[in-house]
């Protein structure tokens, strides 16, 4: 099968590319290297085609999509905090970029677009677990942009017959997740500090909870969504483990894995963060046959091992770069 992974040099994207290459698919990666980097794919040399391009550039997207069967659209400007600091850019990448992908996919009649949405679309609901029949209530520009992308996917499925599936990913973590960014996710940030003998920093009182989802589960869901029948078109669903742990509890679990005793350092809460998040994964199980393949503790053990091997992603040195697409086999 011929596939395109937008954001394929990023954290989730690079893990997905590995699975697709291992399955023998013809893989094309579109990435502008603003938050991803080619170091995440270095050992796959010669097994995929790389196009450096920005999803805000419609001609670059059209070139990348041409001739593929399935598009896994993972390219995004991540982070709630980043979107609060720069809502204009968040919208341009996460909404306008997604619309470019859908327009191009429709034009060349791809079989399926799998869109990486976010649990943040639910907002701060008191009802747990969060399920797909609940109203959405985004609290940040990032969440609003992800919901807009989801809505465009459903609209293109309804109006144009473009087959789309939206996956609401819950707090994905694992190897190749960058701990060094100002907007780094909590798990790699905690691990990096604790391996250095430093207390992990929690924004808030630490009682907030998340349904942390190891990256292998997200990749499995992407593959299931990409290969499912046409009856799933226009659907959206949660992808998680169906459980939750507080940030204080996460620190305790990491202390057990690392054999350390580092207390968290609490600081001021961040605007836009939700208090609790836990997913119902019944719909994904029913429609896709999705089941988590790795639980949180196993995932943390694997992630710690990867960090201990010194495999942190290298800096791309190209943050914010926008370039014309260049075909390159690697």
Residues assigned a catalytic role: 142
Structure tokens at 97: 């970029």
């Amino acid at each position: 099968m011929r596939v395109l992974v937008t954001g394929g040099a990023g954290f989730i994207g690079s893990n997905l590319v590995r699975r697709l290459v291992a399955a023998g698919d013809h893989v094309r990666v579109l990435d502008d290297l603003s938050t991803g980097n080619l170091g995440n794919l270095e050992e796959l040399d010669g097994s995929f085609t790389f196009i450096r391009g920005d999803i805000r550039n419609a001609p670059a997207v059209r070139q990348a999509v041409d001739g593929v069967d399935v598009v896994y659209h993972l390219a995004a400007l991540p982070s709630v905090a980043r979107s609060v600091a720069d809502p204009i850019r968040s919208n341009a990448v996460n909404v306008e970029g997604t619309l470019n992908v859908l327009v191009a996919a429709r034009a060349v009649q791809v079989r399926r677009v799998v869109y990486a949405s976010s649990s943040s679309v639910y907002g701060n609901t008191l009802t747990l677990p969060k399920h797909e029949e609940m109203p959405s209530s985004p609290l940040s520009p990032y969440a609003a942009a992800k919901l807009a992308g989801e809505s465009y996917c459903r609209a293109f499925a309804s109006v144009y017959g473009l087959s789309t599936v939206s996956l609401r990913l819950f707090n994905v973590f694992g190897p190749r997740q960058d701990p060094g960014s100002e907007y780094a996710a909590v798990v790699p940030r905690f691990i990096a500090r604790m391996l250095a003998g430093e207390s992990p920093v929690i924004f808030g009182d630490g009682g907030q909870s998340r349904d942390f989802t190891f990256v292998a589960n997200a990749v499995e869901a992407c593959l299931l969504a990409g290969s499912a029948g046409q009856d799933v078109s226009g659907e959206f669903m949660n992808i998680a483990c169906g459980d939750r742990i507080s940030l204080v509890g996460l620190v305790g679990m990491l202390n057990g894995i690392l054999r350390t005793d580092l207390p968290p350092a609490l600081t001021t809460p961040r605007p836009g963060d939700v208090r609790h998040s836990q997913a119902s994964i019944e719909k994904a199980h029913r429609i896709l046959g999705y089941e988590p393949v790795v639980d949180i503790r196993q995932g943390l053990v694997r992630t710690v091992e990867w960090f201990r091997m010194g495999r942190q992603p290298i800096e791309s040195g190209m943050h914010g770069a926008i370039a014309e697409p260049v075909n390159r086999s690697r």
